[in-house]
Amino acid sequence: MKDLLITEILQEMLPHLDNAQMIQLQSTLTRCLAAHEVTAHNPAEEIATAITSSELLTMFLAAKKVEGCSSKTIRYYESTLRHLLAASARHITHLTTDDLRGYLSDYQERSTCSRTNIDNIRRILSSFFAWLEDENYILKSPVRRIHKIKTAKVIKETYTDEALEQMRDHSAHIRDLAMIDLLASTGMRVGELVRLNRSDIDFERRECIVFGKGSKERPVYFDARTKIHLRSYLDSRTDENPALFVSLQRPHKRLQISGVEIRLRKIGRRLGIARVHPHKFRRTLATRAIDKGMPIEQVQQLLGHSKIETTMAYAMVDQSNVKRSHQKYIA
């Protein structure tokens, strides 16, 4: 308890003292408190410890649900944080920065997971402890001093023009052609694609409204080719299902994410195109849009990203264009 008290005092005085004064203060506090017994009488802390760690987690998840987080995100938060609770015998409000650093280090060593995964865990811990701080269950989040973990930047592949044309030319069904065109021209998420209904498509304006993460609405736009192929597909259907894309076999149920992924993988294997999946269309659109001079803020709106950093991570500028720009402006 003495160490906790000294740490709290030092944290409070950090903005007001220089390094030498901080060292002197720590030495003085340690010496003066050595002969004394320190007991906690913090009402907020007493309230917090009266509530179990599991109950605090449940309250946090409820708050996230109210904020509009998807059920998938909630499940990810819960599994990550319950793993932390299981790994520590201490109450969640008593965990320190060193405890959490040790937890992240041990977790990475045991699971041999990537730095990206560890940083994702750090972000979830940061969100949880920031909430505890905002709700006055703790004085200060112990994750504040755990900085973003550096990760290697991997340039992910995009589809070439030739690969896109190959997929279009060798689509076994008009549905697959319409699906490829819609993904390629709008950059929508596959989850947004499968939730679309026929009535959502505005052929005159060549646009539709999709529901993205957090149930956020945004318009997306498609080209004339997509319009023609999408209309041909819908005209060919005899079912009454309101879904925009349905299974080819009766009873023609709404196509699910796994159905789209499996179909695209089959097309890719047949054509010898590596790693064909829905998200690659989205990354391709973002990369080409930025590469051709579309303002990054507009690409952000098009993709439905809340943070522009996310858009930048999706868009990897074509290196050949960088070389041409260097020759034009510098060489």
Residue from 137, 159, 233, 314 carrying the catalytic annotation: 314
Active site residue 173: no
- 156 belongs to a structural domain: no
Active site residue 213: yes
pLDDT in tens, 18-34: 778 888 888 898 888 88
> Do 305 and 200 share a domain, yes or no?
yes
- 152 belongs to a structural domain: no
> Do 166 and 305 share a domain, yes or no?
yes
> Do 110 and 4 share a domain, yes or no?
no
DSSP per-residue letters across 210-221: EE-GGG-EEEEE
Confidence category of residue 314, pLDDT binned at 50, 70, 90: low
Q: Which structure tokens are listed for 272?
A: 């010898």
Of 70 and 163, the structure prediction assigns the larger pLDDT to 163
Residue 107 makes CB contacts below 8 A (sequence gap 6+) with 83, 87, 113, 118, 121
Pick the last residue of a domain from 89, 107, 139: 139
Out of 35-44, 66-75, 259-268, least confident range: 35-44
> Do 27 and 50 share a domain, yes or no?
no
> Do 135 and 175 share a domain, yes or no?
no
Q: Which structure tokens are listed for 248?
A: 């080819």
Mean pLDDT value across residues 277-286: 93
What does the alpha-carbon distance between residue 41 and residue 312 come to, in Å, rounded to a whole number? 48
> Do 213 and 246 share a domain, yes or no?
yes
Whole-prediction pTM value? 0.67
pLDDT in tens, 140-164: 899 999 998 887 666 678 899 999 9
Residue from 229, 282, 283, 288 carrying the catalytic annotation: 282
- 144 belongs to a structural domain: no
Active site residue 277: no
Residue 89 pLDDT greater than 70, yes or no:
yes
Please tell me which of 118-132, 213-227, 292-306 the model is most confident about, judged by mean pLDDT: 118-132
Active site residue 189: yes
At 134 the pLDDT is 92
Question: How far apart, in Å, are the Cα atoms of 329 and each of 120, 229, 275, 296, 324?
Answer: 39, 42, 36, 21, 9
- 330 belongs to a structural domain: no
Residue from 64, 122, 175, 189 carrying the catalytic annotation: 189
Confidence category of residue 121, pLDDT binned at 50, 70, 90: very high
What residue type is assigned to position 273 of the chain? I
Confidence category of residue 183, pLDDT binned at 50, 70, 90: very high
What does the alpha-carbon distance between residue 303 and residue 299 come to, in Å, rounded to a whole number? 6
Number of structural domains in the chain: 3
Kindly report the CATH number assigned to the domain that includes residue 214: 1.10.443.10
DSSP per-residue letters across 81-107: HHHHHHH--S-GGG--HHHHHHHHHHH
> Do 54 and 97 share a domain, yes or no?
yes
Residue from 213, 225, 252, 254 carrying the catalytic annotation: 213
- 147 belongs to a structural domain: no
- 148 belongs to a structural domain: no
What does the alpha-carbon distance between residue 289 and residue 20 come to, in Å, rounded to a whole number? 53
* CA angle at 88 for the pair 84 and 93, rounded to the nearest 5°: 85
In the chain, pLDDT over 90 holds for what percent of residues?
Answer: 55
Kindly report the CATH number assigned to the domain that includes residue 59: 1.10.150
Mean pLDDT value across residues 66-84: 91
What residue type is assigned to position 98 of the chain? D
pLDDT in tens, 231-253: 999 999 999 999 999 999 999 99
> Do 215 and 232 share a domain, yes or no?
yes
Asked if 57 and 81 touch (Cβ cutoff 8 Å), the reply is yes
> Do 269 and 126 share a domain, yes or no?
no
> Do 105 and 223 share a domain, yes or no?
no
Q: Chain-wide mean pLDDT for the chain?
A: 87
> Do 226 and 282 share a domain, yes or no?
yes
Confidence category of residue 136, pLDDT binned at 50, 70, 90: confident
Residue from 94, 218, 225, 279 carrying the catalytic annotation: 279
User: Nearest Cα to 179, choosing from 78, 266, 239, 304?
Assistant: 266
How many CB atoms are located within 10 Å of the residue 192 CB? 21
- 146 belongs to a structural domain: no
At 42 the pLDDT is 55
Of 114 and 327, the structure prediction assigns the larger pLDDT to 114
At 7 the pLDDT is 79
> Do 66 and 5 share a domain, yes or no?
no
Active site residue 279: yes
**Where on the phi/psi map is residue 111: left (φ > 0), alpha (ψ -120 to 50), or beta?**
alpha
Q: Domain of residue 16: give its range.
A: 1-36
Residue 86 makes CB contacts below 8 A (sequence gap 6+) with none
Length in residues, the chain:
331
- 149 belongs to a structural domain: no
